[in-house]
Structure 1
Amino acid sequence: MKTKIILFTITSLLLFGCKQEEKEPKNTAISEESIFNLSSKWKTQDDKTVEIKDFRGKVSVMVMIYTACKAACPRLVADMRDIESKIPKEDLKDLNFILVSIDPKTDTPERLKVFAKDNFMEDEHWTFLQGTPTTVQEFANVLAVKYKKISPLDFSHSNIISVFNREGELIHQQEGLGVNNTETIDKIIETVKK
Protein backbone atom coordinates (compact mmCIF):
# COMPACT_ATOMS: atom_id res chain seq x y z
CA MET A 1 0.00 0.00 0.00
CA LYS A 2 2.81 2.40 0.92
CA THR A 3 4.49 1.64 -2.42
CA LYS A 4 1.30 2.57 -4.32
CA ILE A 5 0.98 5.84 -2.40
CA ILE A 6 4.62 6.70 -3.04
CA LEU A 7 4.28 5.89 -6.77
CA PHE A 8 1.06 7.93 -6.98
CA THR A 9 2.75 10.88 -5.24
CA ILE A 10 5.84 10.74 -7.48
CA THR A 11 3.69 10.44 -10.63
CA SER A 12 1.53 13.38 -9.52
CA LEU A 13 4.58 15.51 -8.81
CA LEU A 14 6.11 14.70 -12.19
CA LEU A 15 2.90 15.49 -14.04
CA PHE A 16 2.37 18.67 -12.04
CA GLY A 17 5.99 19.66 -12.63
CA CYS A 18 5.67 19.12 -16.38
CA LYS A 19 2.51 21.20 -16.58
CA GLN A 20 4.17 24.01 -14.63
CA GLU A 21 7.12 23.93 -17.03
CA GLU A 22 4.84 24.25 -20.05
CA LYS A 23 3.19 27.38 -18.66
CA GLU A 24 6.44 29.24 -18.11
CA PRO A 25 7.29 31.54 -21.05
CA LYS A 26 10.50 30.95 -22.95
CA ASN A 27 13.33 33.38 -22.27
CA THR A 28 13.09 35.99 -25.00
CA ALA A 29 15.29 38.57 -23.29
CA ILE A 30 18.10 40.05 -25.34
CA SER A 31 21.43 40.63 -23.61
CA GLU A 32 22.83 44.15 -23.34
CA GLU A 33 25.73 43.15 -25.63
CA SER A 34 23.44 42.04 -28.47
CA ILE A 35 23.14 43.89 -31.76
CA PHE A 36 19.50 42.83 -31.69
CA ASN A 37 18.92 45.80 -29.37
CA LEU A 38 19.21 48.04 -32.44
CA SER A 39 15.68 48.93 -33.50
CA SER A 40 16.51 50.51 -36.87
CA LYS A 41 14.73 49.45 -40.05
CA TRP A 42 16.61 48.29 -43.17
CA LYS A 43 15.75 47.37 -46.76
CA THR A 44 17.08 44.12 -48.21
CA GLN A 45 18.15 43.51 -51.79
CA ASP A 46 14.60 42.14 -52.27
CA ASP A 47 13.16 45.46 -51.02
CA LYS A 48 11.83 43.86 -47.82
CA THR A 49 11.89 45.88 -44.61
CA VAL A 50 13.76 44.11 -41.79
CA GLU A 51 15.28 44.79 -38.40
CA ILE A 52 18.61 43.37 -37.25
CA LYS A 53 16.76 41.23 -34.68
CA ASP A 54 15.10 39.39 -37.59
CA PHE A 55 18.43 37.55 -37.97
CA ARG A 56 18.21 36.13 -34.43
CA GLY A 57 18.58 32.39 -34.13
CA LYS A 58 21.39 32.00 -36.66
CA VAL A 59 25.10 32.80 -36.53
CA SER A 60 25.73 36.01 -38.49
CA VAL A 61 28.82 36.99 -40.44
CA MET A 62 28.71 40.72 -41.23
CA VAL A 63 30.74 43.19 -43.23
CA MET A 64 30.24 46.80 -44.34
CA ILE A 65 30.90 47.63 -48.00
CA TYR A 66 29.59 49.82 -50.83
CA THR A 67 28.93 48.68 -54.38
CA ALA A 68 30.83 51.46 -56.19
CA CYS A 69 34.04 50.61 -54.30
CA LYS A 70 36.90 49.59 -56.58
CA ALA A 71 39.59 48.96 -53.96
CA ALA A 72 38.86 47.22 -50.66
CA CYS A 73 35.25 46.08 -51.12
CA PRO A 74 35.86 43.60 -53.94
CA ARG A 75 38.46 41.96 -51.67
CA LEU A 76 36.04 41.96 -48.69
CA VAL A 77 33.37 40.36 -50.89
CA ALA A 78 35.90 37.74 -52.02
CA ASP A 79 36.84 37.13 -48.38
CA MET A 80 33.16 36.60 -47.46
CA ARG A 81 32.71 34.17 -50.37
CA ASP A 82 35.90 32.35 -49.36
CA ILE A 83 34.61 31.98 -45.80
CA GLU A 84 31.28 30.66 -47.11
CA SER A 85 33.05 28.14 -49.36
CA LYS A 86 34.91 26.64 -46.38
CA ILE A 87 31.82 26.12 -44.22
CA PRO A 88 30.31 22.61 -44.38
CA LYS A 89 27.21 22.76 -46.62
CA GLU A 90 24.97 21.37 -43.87
CA ASP A 91 25.92 24.32 -41.61
CA LEU A 92 24.97 27.04 -44.12
CA LYS A 93 21.29 26.78 -43.09
CA ASP A 94 22.34 28.09 -39.65
CA LEU A 95 24.21 31.11 -41.02
CA ASN A 96 23.45 34.63 -42.20
CA PHE A 97 26.02 36.37 -44.39
CA ILE A 98 25.09 40.05 -44.19
CA LEU A 99 26.63 42.87 -46.21
CA VAL A 100 25.64 46.35 -45.04
CA SER A 101 26.09 49.28 -47.39
CA ILE A 102 27.87 52.37 -46.09
CA ASP A 103 26.45 54.29 -49.08
CA PRO A 104 22.67 54.09 -48.64
CA LYS A 105 22.03 56.90 -51.13
CA THR A 106 23.58 54.98 -54.02
CA ASP A 107 23.04 51.41 -52.88
CA THR A 108 19.32 51.01 -53.40
CA PRO A 109 17.70 47.58 -53.01
CA GLU A 110 17.70 47.27 -56.81
CA ARG A 111 21.40 48.03 -57.05
CA LEU A 112 22.18 45.65 -54.16
CA LYS A 113 20.23 42.88 -55.94
CA VAL A 114 22.28 43.34 -59.13
CA PHE A 115 25.48 43.39 -57.06
CA ALA A 116 24.45 40.15 -55.30
CA LYS A 117 23.78 38.48 -58.66
CA ASP A 118 27.05 39.74 -60.19
CA ASN A 119 28.97 38.34 -57.21
CA PHE A 120 27.19 34.96 -57.05
CA MET A 121 25.66 35.80 -53.67
CA GLU A 122 22.03 34.96 -54.34
CA ASP A 123 21.55 31.99 -52.01
CA GLU A 124 19.13 32.42 -49.12
CA HIS A 125 21.90 32.89 -46.55
CA TRP A 126 23.13 36.11 -48.27
CA THR A 127 21.47 39.39 -47.30
CA PHE A 128 22.38 42.91 -48.41
CA LEU A 129 21.10 45.83 -46.34
CA GLN A 130 20.40 49.46 -47.15
CA GLY A 131 19.75 51.77 -44.23
CA THR A 132 19.73 55.52 -43.76
CA PRO A 133 22.83 57.62 -43.04
CA THR A 134 21.88 57.55 -39.34
CA THR A 135 21.23 53.80 -39.10
CA VAL A 136 24.41 53.03 -41.04
CA GLN A 137 26.46 55.21 -38.67
CA GLU A 138 24.88 53.57 -35.63
CA PHE A 139 25.60 50.11 -37.03
CA ALA A 140 29.20 51.03 -37.92
CA ASN A 141 29.74 52.26 -34.36
CA VAL A 142 28.56 48.92 -32.98
CA LEU A 143 30.95 47.02 -35.28
CA ALA A 144 33.82 49.48 -34.66
CA VAL A 145 33.93 50.20 -38.40
CA LYS A 146 35.21 53.64 -39.32
CA TYR A 147 34.22 55.17 -42.64
CA LYS A 148 34.38 58.60 -44.22
CA LYS A 149 33.21 60.00 -47.54
CA ILE A 150 36.29 61.22 -49.41
CA SER A 151 34.64 62.09 -52.75
CA PRO A 152 31.14 61.87 -54.25
CA LEU A 153 31.66 58.18 -55.08
CA ASP A 154 34.39 57.08 -52.68
CA PHE A 155 34.65 56.22 -49.01
CA SER A 156 37.61 55.41 -46.85
CA HIS A 157 36.62 52.57 -44.48
CA SER A 158 37.75 49.84 -42.10
CA ASN A 159 38.03 46.29 -43.42
CA ILE A 160 36.44 44.20 -40.69
CA ILE A 161 34.41 41.01 -40.90
CA SER A 162 32.41 40.41 -37.70
CA VAL A 163 30.92 37.17 -36.40
CA PHE A 164 27.92 37.17 -34.04
CA ASN A 165 26.41 34.24 -32.15
CA ARG A 166 22.74 33.29 -32.45
CA GLU A 167 21.84 35.90 -29.81
CA GLY A 168 23.62 38.74 -31.64
CA GLU A 169 26.67 38.96 -29.38
CA LEU A 170 29.99 39.71 -31.05
CA ILE A 171 32.29 36.70 -30.75
CA HIS A 172 35.02 37.37 -33.33
CA GLN A 173 36.39 39.97 -35.74
CA GLN A 174 38.74 39.52 -38.67
CA GLU A 175 40.54 42.68 -39.73
CA GLY A 176 42.35 43.22 -43.00
CA LEU A 177 42.05 42.11 -46.61
CA GLY A 178 42.91 38.66 -47.87
CA VAL A 179 44.11 37.57 -44.43
CA ASN A 180 44.28 33.99 -43.22
CA ASN A 181 40.68 33.26 -42.26
CA THR A 182 41.20 29.89 -40.54
CA GLU A 183 40.44 31.32 -37.08
CA THR A 184 37.28 33.00 -38.38
CA ILE A 185 36.03 29.81 -40.03
CA ASP A 186 36.82 27.72 -36.94
CA LYS A 187 34.93 30.21 -34.75
CA ILE A 188 31.90 30.17 -37.08
CA ILE A 189 31.74 26.36 -37.20
CA GLU A 190 32.26 26.07 -33.44
CA THR A 191 29.44 28.56 -32.80
CA VAL A 192 27.06 26.90 -35.26
CA LYS A 193 27.60 23.55 -33.50
CA LYS A 194 26.67 24.98 -30.05
Structure 2
Amino acid sequence: MKKIRFNCAFLVFILILSGCSSSEFEPELDLKVMDFEYTNQRNEVISLEKLKGTPWLAMFIYTRCNTVCPPMTSNMADVHAAIEKEGIENYKIVGFSVDPAYDSPEILSNYLSYYPIENVSKWELLTGYEQAEITQFALQSFNTVAKKLTGSDDVIHDIKYFLVDQNGIVVKSYDGYTDVPIEEIVTDLKSVQR
Protein backbone atom coordinates (compact mmCIF):
# COMPACT_ATOMS: atom_id res chain seq x y z
CA MET A 1 0.00 0.00 0.00
CA LYS A 2 2.86 2.38 0.88
CA LYS A 3 4.50 1.59 -2.46
CA ILE A 4 1.28 2.47 -4.37
CA ARG A 5 0.98 5.79 -2.48
CA PHE A 6 4.62 6.58 -3.18
CA ASN A 7 4.20 5.75 -6.89
CA CYS A 8 1.08 7.96 -7.13
CA ALA A 9 2.81 10.83 -5.32
CA PHE A 10 5.88 10.45 -7.54
CA LEU A 11 3.70 10.42 -10.68
CA VAL A 12 1.88 13.61 -9.59
CA PHE A 13 5.24 15.27 -8.87
CA ILE A 14 6.58 14.33 -12.34
CA LEU A 15 3.39 15.60 -14.03
CA ILE A 16 3.68 18.93 -12.18
CA LEU A 17 7.33 19.28 -13.21
CA SER A 18 6.64 18.42 -16.85
CA GLY A 19 3.73 20.87 -16.91
CA CYS A 20 5.99 23.63 -15.62
CA SER A 21 8.80 22.97 -18.06
CA SER A 22 6.65 22.75 -21.19
CA SER A 23 5.21 26.25 -20.73
CA GLU A 24 8.69 27.79 -20.72
CA PHE A 25 10.22 28.56 -24.14
CA GLU A 26 13.56 26.86 -24.61
CA PRO A 27 15.78 28.37 -27.35
CA GLU A 28 17.39 25.79 -29.63
CA LEU A 29 19.70 28.27 -31.35
CA ASP A 30 21.68 31.31 -30.29
CA LEU A 31 22.75 33.14 -33.47
CA LYS A 32 23.17 36.90 -33.60
CA VAL A 33 21.75 38.48 -36.78
CA MET A 34 24.27 40.79 -38.45
CA ASP A 35 23.32 44.45 -38.86
CA PHE A 36 21.57 45.09 -42.17
CA GLU A 37 19.74 47.80 -44.08
CA TYR A 38 17.79 46.45 -47.03
CA THR A 39 14.86 47.55 -49.19
CA ASN A 40 11.40 45.98 -48.88
CA GLN A 41 8.63 45.42 -51.43
CA ARG A 42 7.24 48.90 -50.66
CA ASN A 43 10.62 50.51 -51.43
CA GLU A 44 11.17 51.29 -47.73
CA VAL A 45 14.42 50.71 -45.88
CA ILE A 46 14.17 47.95 -43.28
CA SER A 47 17.04 47.43 -40.87
CA LEU A 48 17.88 45.21 -37.94
CA GLU A 49 17.64 48.35 -35.81
CA LYS A 50 14.05 49.01 -37.01
CA LEU A 51 13.11 45.43 -36.11
CA LYS A 52 14.53 45.68 -32.57
CA GLY A 53 11.78 45.14 -29.99
CA THR A 54 9.79 43.00 -32.44
CA PRO A 55 10.12 39.21 -32.79
CA TRP A 56 10.11 38.03 -36.40
CA LEU A 57 9.98 34.97 -38.59
CA ALA A 58 12.60 34.82 -41.34
CA MET A 59 12.82 32.79 -44.52
CA PHE A 60 14.97 32.75 -47.66
CA ILE A 61 13.10 32.72 -50.97
CA TYR A 62 13.19 34.10 -54.52
CA THR A 63 10.48 34.82 -57.07
CA ARG A 64 11.91 32.84 -60.01
CA CYS A 65 11.93 29.70 -57.85
CA ASN A 66 9.27 27.28 -59.07
CA THR A 67 9.96 24.43 -56.65
CA VAL A 68 10.14 25.06 -52.89
CA CYS A 69 9.50 28.83 -52.66
CA PRO A 70 5.80 28.93 -53.63
CA PRO A 71 4.87 26.25 -51.02
CA MET A 72 7.10 27.95 -48.42
CA THR A 73 5.42 31.30 -49.02
CA SER A 74 1.96 29.71 -48.99
CA ASN A 75 2.79 27.89 -45.75
CA MET A 76 4.03 31.15 -44.22
CA ALA A 77 0.72 32.77 -45.22
CA ASP A 78 -0.99 29.99 -43.21
CA VAL A 79 1.33 30.65 -40.26
CA HIS A 80 0.53 34.36 -40.57
CA ALA A 81 -3.22 33.66 -40.53
CA ALA A 82 -2.80 31.56 -37.36
CA ILE A 83 -0.78 34.37 -35.71
CA GLU A 84 -3.48 36.89 -36.56
CA LYS A 85 -6.21 34.55 -35.30
CA GLU A 86 -4.35 34.28 -31.98
CA GLY A 87 -4.45 38.08 -31.69
CA ILE A 88 -0.67 38.56 -31.63
CA GLU A 89 0.18 42.08 -32.79
CA ASN A 90 3.92 42.55 -32.22
CA TYR A 91 5.65 40.50 -34.95
CA LYS A 92 6.99 40.65 -38.50
CA ILE A 93 7.54 38.16 -41.30
CA VAL A 94 10.80 38.81 -43.13
CA GLY A 95 11.70 37.16 -46.42
CA PHE A 96 15.24 37.64 -47.74
CA SER A 97 15.49 37.30 -51.51
CA VAL A 98 18.38 35.06 -52.50
CA ASP A 99 18.15 36.42 -56.07
CA PRO A 100 18.53 40.17 -55.45
CA ALA A 101 19.71 41.07 -58.97
CA TYR A 102 16.30 40.00 -60.30
CA ASP A 103 13.99 40.53 -57.31
CA SER A 104 13.28 44.25 -57.35
CA PRO A 105 10.81 45.77 -54.85
CA GLU A 106 8.17 45.81 -57.60
CA ILE A 107 8.69 42.13 -58.43
CA LEU A 108 8.56 41.19 -54.74
CA SER A 109 5.36 43.20 -54.28
CA ASN A 110 3.79 41.47 -57.27
CA TYR A 111 4.91 38.05 -55.97
CA LEU A 112 3.27 38.71 -52.61
CA SER A 113 -0.01 39.69 -54.26
CA TYR A 114 -0.55 36.08 -55.40
CA TYR A 115 -0.99 34.89 -51.80
CA PRO A 116 -4.10 35.30 -49.62
CA ILE A 117 -2.57 37.64 -47.04
CA GLU A 118 -4.93 40.00 -45.23
CA ASN A 119 -2.47 42.05 -43.15
CA VAL A 120 0.32 42.46 -45.71
CA SER A 121 1.91 45.27 -43.62
CA LYS A 122 3.41 42.55 -41.39
CA TRP A 123 5.47 41.23 -44.32
CA GLU A 124 8.89 42.56 -45.33
CA LEU A 125 10.31 40.94 -48.48
CA LEU A 126 13.84 42.27 -48.75
CA THR A 127 16.28 42.98 -51.58
CA GLY A 128 18.83 45.66 -52.49
CA TYR A 129 22.13 43.87 -51.89
CA GLU A 130 24.70 41.92 -53.88
CA GLN A 131 24.52 38.14 -54.32
CA ALA A 132 27.75 37.66 -52.36
CA GLU A 133 26.33 39.71 -49.48
CA ILE A 134 23.19 37.58 -49.03
CA THR A 135 25.32 34.42 -49.24
CA GLN A 136 27.55 35.70 -46.43
CA PHE A 137 24.61 37.13 -44.44
CA ALA A 138 22.68 33.82 -44.54
CA LEU A 139 25.73 31.88 -43.42
CA GLN A 140 26.85 34.24 -40.65
CA SER A 141 23.43 35.21 -39.28
CA PHE A 142 21.41 32.02 -39.76
CA ASN A 143 24.09 29.35 -40.28
CA THR A 144 22.38 28.48 -43.57
CA VAL A 145 23.20 28.36 -47.27
CA ALA A 146 22.08 30.79 -50.01
CA LYS A 147 24.25 30.14 -53.06
CA LYS A 148 23.53 30.95 -56.70
CA LEU A 149 24.44 28.18 -59.11
CA THR A 150 26.97 29.23 -61.75
CA GLY A 151 25.40 29.77 -65.19
CA SER A 152 21.85 29.32 -63.87
CA ASP A 153 18.95 31.28 -62.38
CA ASP A 154 18.69 28.67 -59.62
CA VAL A 155 19.76 29.42 -56.05
CA ILE A 156 20.38 26.77 -53.42
CA HIS A 157 18.80 27.83 -50.12
CA ASP A 158 17.34 26.39 -46.94
CA ILE A 159 13.64 25.55 -46.60
CA LYS A 160 13.50 26.50 -42.92
CA TYR A 161 11.73 29.28 -41.12
CA PHE A 162 13.73 30.98 -38.38
CA LEU A 163 12.34 32.62 -35.23
CA VAL A 164 14.28 35.76 -34.31
CA ASP A 165 13.62 37.30 -30.91
CA GLN A 166 13.15 41.01 -30.21
CA ASN A 167 16.90 41.39 -29.62
CA GLY A 168 17.90 40.09 -33.05
CA ILE A 169 18.89 36.60 -31.89
CA VAL A 170 17.87 33.54 -33.93
CA VAL A 171 16.42 31.20 -31.31
CA LYS A 172 14.73 28.40 -33.27
CA SER A 173 14.14 26.96 -36.74
CA TYR A 174 11.25 25.01 -38.27
CA ASP A 175 10.51 23.09 -41.45
CA GLY A 176 8.91 25.59 -43.83
CA TYR A 177 8.16 23.20 -46.68
CA THR A 178 6.35 20.11 -45.40
CA ASP A 179 4.79 19.33 -42.03
CA VAL A 180 5.03 22.96 -40.94
CA PRO A 181 4.43 23.06 -37.15
CA ILE A 182 2.04 26.04 -37.23
CA GLU A 183 0.80 25.67 -33.64
CA GLU A 184 4.34 25.37 -32.30
CA ILE A 185 5.46 28.47 -34.22
CA VAL A 186 2.53 30.51 -32.87
CA THR A 187 3.17 29.29 -29.31
CA ASP A 188 6.89 30.05 -29.57
CA LEU A 189 6.22 33.50 -31.02
CA LYS A 190 3.93 34.28 -28.07
CA SER A 191 6.53 32.93 -25.63
CA VAL A 192 9.46 35.04 -26.86
CA GLN A 193 7.38 38.19 -26.31
CA ARG A 194 7.23 37.61 -22.55
Fold conserved (TM > 0.5)? yes
- Counting aligned pairs with the same residue, the percent is 20
Residue pair 1:34, 1:168 contacting (<8 A) in 2 also: yes
What letter matches 1:127 in structure 2? E
- State the Cα distance separating 1:148 from its structure 2 match: 2.6
* 1:150-169, Cα deviation, whole Å (9 max, x unpaired): 35321222111000111111
In structure 2, the partner of 1:177 is 177
**What is the CA–CA distance in structure 1 between the aligned matches of 2:43 and 2:126, rounded to whole Å?**
9
Q: Residue by residue, what CA displacement relative to the aligned partner does 1:17-50 show, whole Å, maximum 9, x if unpaired?
A: xxxxxxxxxxxxxxx9532xx3332111111223
Matched residues in 2 for 1:180 and 1:90: separation? 17
Residues 1:90 and 1:176: Cα distance change in structure 2 (over 3 Å):
closer
C-alpha change, 1:169 and 1:162, in structure 2 (3 Å) is same
Q: CA separation of 1:39/1:147 partners in 2, compared to 1, >3 Å: closer, same or farther?
A: closer
TM-score, normalised to structure 2, is 0.74
Alignment correspondent of 2:91: 95
Residues 107-142 of structure 1, C-alpha deviations (whole Å, 9 max, x = no match): 001101111112234621111100322331232111
CA contact (8 A) 1:40 1:135 kept: no
Counterpart pick for 1:139 among 137, 140, 152: 137
Cα distance in structure 1, aligned partners of 2:157 and 2:168: 23
Q: What are the equivalent positions in structure 2 for 1:35-184 lying under 5 Å apart? A: 35=33, 38-89=34-85, 91-121=87-117, 123-132=120-129, 133-141=131-139, 142-150=141-149, 151-175=151-175, 177-181=177-181, 182-184=183-185
Structure with bigger gyration radius: 1
State which drifts further: 92-101 or 169-178: 169-178
Matched position secondary structure for 2:124: strand
| Offset of residue 86 of structure 1 | 1.5
Residue 172 of structure 1 and its aligned partner are, at CA, apart by 1.0
| CA 1:89–1:115: 2 relative to 1, 3 Å | same
Q: Is the 8 A contact 1:93 1:125 kept in 2?
A: no
Query: What is the RMSD of the two structures over their aligned residues, measured on CA atoms?
Result: 2.1
AA aligned to 2:156 is: S
2:111 alignment partner, SS class: helix
